[in-house]
Structure 1
Amino acid sequence: MALWLKIVIIVLVIVVAALVALYILGTKMQKKQAEQQSMMEAMAQTVSMLVIDKKRLKIKDAGFPKMVYEQTPKYLRRAKVPVVKAKVGPKIMTLMCDEQAFAVLPIKQEAKVVISGIYITSVKSVRGSIVAPPKKKGLFARFRKK
C-alpha cells in the first residue's frame, strides 16, 4: 500500500472519530440546555420595574454576587453581557438580560418584564411605546452615502 493512501486513511479515521465525539457531546449539551430552559420557565414571574440604566459589562464588573461569577464557565468570564440596573419595588437591582429583551428595553421608563432569578427573559409591555433601536447600516450603505 502506498504511503499517501495510509495517510489518507489515518486522517479519515481521525475525522470520523472527531465527528462522533462532537455528536455525542452536542446531544448531551442539548439535553442540558432543554432542562435548564424548562427550569427557567418554571421560575419565571412577571414584574413591573423602572429601568435606570443598561449597558454591556463583564460579569466581574457588573456587580453581581460572587457566586454568579464563580458559576460562570471560565471561557465566558471575560465576555461582556447585557446588564440592566432597575428599580424593582423599593429595591435597586442589577439584572442580567437576554439579547432580544436588551434591545427593546427602554431607559428611564417603566416596563413589565418576565424575570427568572436575576435574568430578564422577555419584555411584556412598556408604559408609553416601545422604541425600536435604530438598525445599523451595512458597510456598502455607509460608503454609498459618501
Structure 2
Amino acid sequence: MLAIHAGTVLTALFSILFVLLLILVALYFLGRRMQKKQEEQQPLIEANTMDVSILVIDKKRMRIADAVRAGLPEQVRAQTPFYLKLSKLPIVKAKVGPRVMTFIAEPKVFELLPLKKEVKVAASGLYIRSIKSVRGGAVSEPPAKKGFLSGLRERIASGRK
C-alpha cells in the first residue's frame, strides 16, 4: 500500500502556495505598469479627439484578424500584444463623408450606437470615444440586461417553464 507522509503533503502545499504568491505579485506589478502606460497615453488621445459626423452602416464584435480583413489598417494587428490577438473588438463600419471607414468603438459607446442613423461622435483617429448627438433624436440607453436569477423568478411568476 502507498503511504503518504504528512510532511510530504505539507511541503507540496507550501510550494504550490509560494508559486501562486509569486504569480500574484508579478501580476500586481505588471498591472501597475500597464496602468501607468495608459495614463501616459490618455492626454495624447484627448489632444487628437475631433468631432466627426458619421452614418453607421454596421457594427459587430470581431477578432482582430477579421477586423483587419474588414478594413482596419495592418498596423492594428502588428501593434496588438500577443495575449489580446484572440479577443474580440467592437468594430463599427461607418460612412464619413464620401468614404466608408472602419472604426474601433469604446464598449459602452458601441452598445449605444444606433444602426442606419447619422451620429456625431468624438473620435480619436480610428477610435470612437463618445457619442455627442444623434440626428433625429436623443441617444437611447440600451435595456438593462437581466441576470439569470431575475429571469428565472420572472418565468416562475408568469407560470412559464
- 1: CA distance between counterparts of 2:64 and 2:16? 41
What is the rounded CA distance, in whole Å, between the counterparts of 1:17 and 1:136 in structure 2? 38
> Highest CA radius of gyration, 1 or 2?
2
Residue among 80, 94, 104 paired with 2:102: 94
Which runs of structure 2 are paired with 1:113-132 in the superposition (5 Å)?
Answer: 113-127=121-135, 128-132=137-141
Number of positions where the alignment pairs a residue of Structure 1 with one of Structure 2: 145
> In the alignment, which of 135, 139, 145 is matched to residue 148 of structure 2?
139
Is structure 2 residue 38 aligned with structure 1 residue 38? no
Amino acid at match of 2:104: M
The code of the aligned residue for 1:32 comes to K
The match for 1:47 among 33, 44, 52 is 52
Q: CA–CA distance in 1 between the matches of 2:144 and 2:115?
A: 18
CA–CA separation in structure 1 for the residues paired with 2:35 and 2:121:
27
Tell me the secondary structure at the aligned position of residue 40 of structure 2: helix
Runs of 4+ more than 6 Å apart: none
Q: Which residue of 1 aligns with 2:77?
A: 69
Identity of aligned residues (%): 49
The secondary structure found in structure 2 opposite 1:49 is: strand
1:139 maps to a residue whose letter is F
Shift of 1:9: 6.6
Q: Secondary structure at the match of 1:29?
A: helix
Residue 106 (str. 1) matches residue 114 (str. 2): yes
Separation (CA, whole Å) in 1 of partners of 2:64 and 2:23: 33
Cα shift readout 1:83-107 (whole Å, capped 9, x = no counterpart): 1111111211011111110011100
Change beyond 3 A, Cα 1:19–1:80: closer
Distance in 1 (CA, whole Å) between partners of 2:111 and 2:35 is 26
